[in-house]
Structure 1
Amino acid sequence: MKSSDLFVKALENEGVKYIYGIPGEENLDLLNSLKDSTIELIITRHEQAAGFMAATYGRLTGHPGVCLSTLGPGATNFVTAAAYAQLGAMPMMMIGGQKPIRKSKQGRFQIVDVVNLMRPITKFSEQIVDGNNVPSTIREAFRLAIEERPGAVYIELPEDIADEQTDASLFDVVGHQRPLADANAVSQAVQMIQEAKMPLLLIGAGANRKATRQALTEFIDKTGIYFFNTQMGKGVIDERHPKFLGTAALSANDFLHCAIDRADLIINIGHDVIEKPPFFMEKGGKKVIHINFFPARIDDVYFPQLNVVGDISHSIEAITETINIPQSADYSYYETVREEVNSHLTKYFEDDRFPMLPQRLVSILRSELDAEDIITLDNGIYKIWFARNYKCYSPNTLLLDNALATMGAGLPSAMIAKQLNPDKKVISVNGDGGFMMNSQELETAVRMGLNLVVIILNDNAYGMIKWKQEDMGFDNFGLDYGNPDFVAYANSFGAHGHRPENVDDFKRILQHTLNAPGVHVIDLPIDYSLNHSILNVMLKESACKI
């Protein structure tokens, strides 16, 4: 058969259901092979958005999402999405086209060495140079994309290779068992926890990819140890749990840091180097147990005294099975911190000023959504408020990016969240800057028939950088812009635009749009004026002195 036909059959063999992207001339053989396949091709309006969609598919399913581009400018548009998936540990496969490699009559027109361009930001980047190599290349790429630590892979299929004949056969898809932690390491972890006087449990990004919820909940319920999480560790355990302290949303001087400073042991579950630990280690200071699929990477602020390496769920279950309740531990201080944190976070939940405070928005969205409903965030100052104030009741119900932290991913990720979860309510929250970076995908969302709510936080500026600019003592310069009429803009794509006039109006519009068919865009004026007075307040002024 043709190599392009075999390529598609290899994708089907791996369980691929969708491909997102924009084909070009060099993909026409592959496009024709997809025509009669079980795989649905979803055309996007930009390759970057297709990459974000594929990465989010991988994040939510654990199976690589797949995206497609042509050569040169199409493939280079994948670069940001590749970094997004790679840093965020999201399994994703990118497929790019290329001019014929055996004989070319067009010189270097549009030719970029994309394979080498992708190597530093992927786990695997290869050009297929022979049709007989299609099955092994695809099987290896999928294996690597899924294997810990998950990430992005890139395959380039040149035009002439796609057209050539091959008699190669498919490879069986073979899974693998993750290794289990060494019994001696588990025993040492148990001893360190039982000897600690003020242990704390930290849930990181790595724990949010696996079925660790039950194991961690049982561990916390048995030991009574308090826990907190990083931004990408949110929702692994229901954050209504009485032992939940909060989310570390800032690098330093956040509300939680007084509790972290008092801890003599941090049990760090699923720590990922893309989210630096929200504590600074000193030699002779607090001890750290690193529980993950792979050993800790040592640097000046992270050098754990114990690595428990293996399947996270199994490691936690093994520790829980043998541990006794730490008799020497005293958690009264943590309870005081928890009360102080909750008091600070709920302070503006009922404030009805308009333009709306981000804290009020968080409060309203939490009250309107069920435990399994999903919010996706783009990147901006509002991400801190959602990380701190929005309590997640289930895993992957607040999709934010604290890895690459790129703008432009919020809308594409919401589209995939809705496609995969048609029975759940999905809201995409975007700053006006990030929204405009992939706003063209409103047409894609409409064409896909999605029922989706898109909220644009409108302040006519790059608000996060303005906050940093002011905080560092610089003059206000270079960060303001004008926006289109977002209501008319949404309507022009076949979506439905809305612009509330006050908080009650916003609540009415939100309730309507969450239950109405189609894509709905809400242009919401936002008030960030309290960022400095609140974000720069340290809880150390109160609870840490108790």
Structure 2
Amino acid sequence: MGNTAEVVADYVRAAGGRFVFAYPGDPIIELMEAMRAQDVEVVLAGREGTAVFMAEAQAMVTGLPGVCLSTLGPGSTSIVNGVAAATWDRVPLLAISGQIDAGREDVVTHQVVDHKLLFSPVTKWAGRIEPRSVDTVMRKALRLAVAERPGAVHLTGSAETFAAPAPDNAVTPPPLGGGAGGVRVHRTEGGPDPTAVLRAARRPVLLAGAGATRCGASDALIRLAERAVAPVVVSPMAKGVFPEDHPLFAGVLDMACNQVLWDFLAGSDLVVAAGFDPVELIRPWSLAVPVLHVDTTPNTDQVYPSDCEVVGDVSASIDWLADEWRGEPRWDERDVAAHRDRLRTAYYAGRVAGRLNPTDVIDVVRASAPAETVVTCDVGSHKLLVGQGWQARRPRSVLMSNGLSSMGFGLPGAIAAQMTLGEAPVVALIGDGGFTMAATELRLAVARQLRLAVVVFCDGSLNRIELKQRALGYPSTATRLHDIDLVALAGSMGCHGVRVSSAAGLEKAMAGLTGPSGPLLIEARIDPAQYEAQF
């Protein structure tokens, strides 16, 4: 008979876990040892807050639950933001925190926080690990984390619990696939058939979201778009679910140039919301256009009304709509191309000749990086341009927090993505504000000799907020950043660094991405004037 920690580790390993990301403490020593014994590597992050972002990024690229560990008290409170990010980003995550033993939890105050109260508002479930029920708890936690819509689960266990013997049961992990089986149609009483709604539309637009990515709906989206000749708009966290070099690709909603996208949608006569999750909306939904809701879950958000819903696996649902399609092509591809030209013009608005503009950074990095590159993006003005301008060709190749939109994700996310993917090149595109939140994680990238490029957009500002202060006629208050020599900082951690202030300099620096192994930090000194023109 093994102990409880071994059962937990067995379930993590059976669920595909190769890494767990942690910052250790007394109550989880036994659990970490059990992970090590099961060939699940316990990766030491610089702090708990970056460990949970690493686990989230691992889940983003695999679709399986990422796992992070923390100790009690300040360890558990430090992961709350990342746990909330996974829930609002719809990413499966299992967070496990140590705790004092249950017999003393109600009477001891030192480092004791009520985890049930702390994590219930930001998770799908906050549970407790006990020896007699550990099998059931682990199955429930893993299944709930991946079930639609995915999110975080938090479990609490004490040192005594992890060391205690557990029943000798076979490890039987639950199904961990995403999506939802079958295709079910829900409509208002006497409402129309969804296939008839689609056939009646003259200018339908597909709006694909993260639910389409989770269900592997890329082929189905391409099939329906090409059969109907209907353009496809995607949400930021769904970038790549429809190839962005396809002639029917029409842009990314609520990133840069968002008015162009909203005008385009307003000019349609039907929006087919395929796995689109309103959690990503920055601007309130104000379209008067009818919506056909296609998702794994019913339209319970009611951000937009929909007279009929197709509920089930998004890929199967879109395939069914494609099978039932009848009629002539709905759009002329020249009209979609003209829209993309308008979008491109708006995207490059505000460029300053002779300076390194934010769009220059995106263009140079995209052109220099191999086609299979995975990019992570932090939060800030640069994210809105990356979200629109980085051309994604496959799902799960652009990782960002856009549900909670939490700063500090970009660097730890890139590290975990590179560790998980192995040889695939990874680039982190980060603002200087987001970088300072996680800069010391470069040490981990160096220690593991990760082939990682970290490109920092340096303008000395928390630009999004500073622009809003300026628009209100207020001075910049708490939005200016002290200058840091990032090249020297990188060097102090054994990381190669280079400073650039031109597109040519950046092209030269990016050549190092295909050179010797090890991370590369690029301090890109940008002119932020383009942000003001954009936003």
- Shorter-chain TM-score bucket reads over 0.9
Residue 298 of structure 1: CA displacement?
4.2
Measured against aligned partners, the alpha-carbon deviations of 1:209-236 in whole angstroms (never above 9, x if no partner) come to 2311111101111110112112122111
Partner of 1:86: 87
TM-score with structure 2 setting the length: 0.93
The corresponding residue for 1:518 is 518
Match of 1:542 in 2: none
Name the residue aligned to 1:289.
Answer: 292
232-241 or 5-14, which deviates more: 5-14
Deviation, structure 1 residue 352: 5.9
Structure 2 match to 1:319: 321
Deviation at 1:192, TM superposition (A): 0.9
CA distance in 1, matches of 2:472, 2:350: 26
**How much has 1:69 moved relative to structure 2?**
0.7
Contact 1:271 1:277 in 2 (8 A): no
- Structure 1: distance between partners of 2:266 and 2:44: 50
- Kindly indicate whether residue 242 of structure 2 is the aligned counterpart of residue 237 of structure 1: yes
Match of 2:344 among 342, 345, 349: 342
Q: Which amino acid aligns with 2:407?
A: M
Q: CA deviation at 1:178?
A: 2.6
**C-alpha deviation, 1:45, in angstroms:** 1.1
**SS of residue paired to 2:380:** coil
Tell me which amino acid in the other structure corresponds to 2:402. N
Instruction: Find the counterpart in structure 1 of residue 380 from structure 2.
Output: 380
Counterpart residue identity of residue 230, structure 1: S
Aligned pair 1:121/2:122, yes or no?
Answer: yes
Change in CA separation of 1:515 and 1:305 when aligned onto 2, cut-off 3 Å: farther
What is the CA–CA distance in structure 1 between the aligned matches of 2:266 and 2:114, rounded to whole Å?
A: 49
Count of matched residue positions in the alignment of Structure 1 and Structure 2: 529
Are 1:353 and 2:354 an aligned pair? Answer: yes
Counterpart Cα distance in 2 of 1:13 and 1:334? 46
- After TM superposition, list the pairs within 5 Å mapping 1:58-457 onto structure 2: 58-103=59-104, 107-128=108-129, 130-175=130-175, 178-182=180-184, 188-250=193-255, 254-276=259-281, 280-281=285-286, 285-299=288-302, 301-326=303-328, 333-345=335-347, 353-354=354-355, 356-457=356-457
| Map of 1:46 onto structure 2 | 47
CA-CA distance at 1:336 after TM superposition:
3.0
1:332 Cα shift?
6.1
Q: Deviations over 1:94-127 (max 9, x none)?
A: 1111112235798211101122210111111112
Distance in 1 (CA, whole Å) between partners of 2:238 and 2:106 is 52
Structure 2 counterpart of 1:287, which letter? P
Kindly state the Cα deviation for residue 452 of structure 1 after the two structures are TM-superposed. Answer: 0.9
1:32 aligned to 2:37? no
**What is the rounded CA distance, in whole Å, between the counterparts of 2:328 and 2:194 in structure 1?**
12
Deviations 1:447-492 (A, max 9, x none): 2221111111111121111122223333333311213221111111
Asked if structure 1 preserves the Cα contact closer than 8 Å seen for 2:186 and 2:310, the reply is: no
Following TM superposition, by how much is the alpha carbon of 1:342 offset from its aligned partner in structure 2, in angstroms? Answer: 2.8
Distance 1:307 1:95, change over 3 A: same
CA contact (8 A) 2:254 2:281 kept: no
What is the CA–CA distance in structure 2 between the aligned matches of 1:497 and 1:268, rounded to whole Å? Answer: 43
For the residues of structure 2 that align with 1:387 and 1:37, how far apart are their CA atoms?
39
Partner of 1:543: none
C-alpha distance in structure 1 between counterparts of 2:393 and 2:169, whole Å: 46
Conserved 8 A contact 1:132-1:168: no
Counterpart of 1:32, as a letter, is E
Equivalent position amino acid for 1:73 in 2: P
Structure 1 residue identity aligned to 2:339: V
Q: Taking structure 1 as reference, are residues 252 and 527 closer, same or farther at Cα in structure 2, changes over 3 Å only?
A: closer
> Does the CA contact (< 8 Å) of 2:257 and 2:346 recur in 1?
no
**Structure 2 counterpart SS, 1:393:** coil
Cα 1:22–1:213 change in 2 (3 A) is: same
SS in structure 1 opposite 2:207?
strand
TM-fit CA distance, 1:501: 4.6
Cα deviation for residue 138 of structure 1 reads 0.8
Note the C-alpha offset of 1:258: 2.0
CA–CA distance in structure 2, aligned partners of residues 198 and 79 of structure 1 = 44
Further displaced range: 216-225 or 461-470: 461-470
Distance, in Å, in 1 between the alignment partners of 2:306 and 2:185 is: 18
Contact 1:194 1:327 in 2 (8 A): no
Distance 1:192 1:531 in 2: 40
5+ unaligned residues in a row in structure 2: which ranges?
Answer: none
Q: Which amino acid aligns with 1:497?
A: G
**TM-score, structure 1 length as denominator?**
0.91
CA contact (8 A) 1:251 1:278 kept: no
Cα pair distance change 1:250/1:164, threshold 3 Å = closer
Partner residue in 2 for 1:18 = 19
More displaced 10-residue stretch of structure 1: 26-35 or 306-315? 26-35
The residue identity in structure 2 corresponding to 1:345 is Y
1:379 counterpart SS class: coil
Q: 1:99 & 1:136 partners in 2: Cα distance?
A: 22
SS in 2 for 1:5: helix
Taking the aligned partners of 1:238 and 1:104, their CA distance within structure 2 comes to 52
Tell me the secondary structure at the aligned position of residue 499 of structure 1: strand
| Letter of the 1:232 counterpart | M
Unaligned runs of 5+ in 1: 537-546
Kindly provide the CA deviation profile for residues 351-372 of structure 1, in whole angstroms up to 9, marking residues without a partner as x: 7623x10111111112112332
Displacement of 1:278: 6.2
3-state DSSP of counterpart to 2:300: coil
Farther-moved stretch of structure 1 (205-214 vs 151-160): 205-214
- d(CA) in 1 for partners of 2:460, 2:483: 6
CA separation of 1:11 and 1:391: change in aligned 2, threshold 3 A? closer
- For residues 452-467 of structure 1, the aligned pairs below 5 Å read 452-467=452-467
Structure 1 pair 462/15, CA: closer, same or farther in 2 (3 Å)?
same
Deviation at 1:330, TM superposition (A): 6.6
Q: Is the 8 A contact 1:222 1:325 kept in 2?
A: no
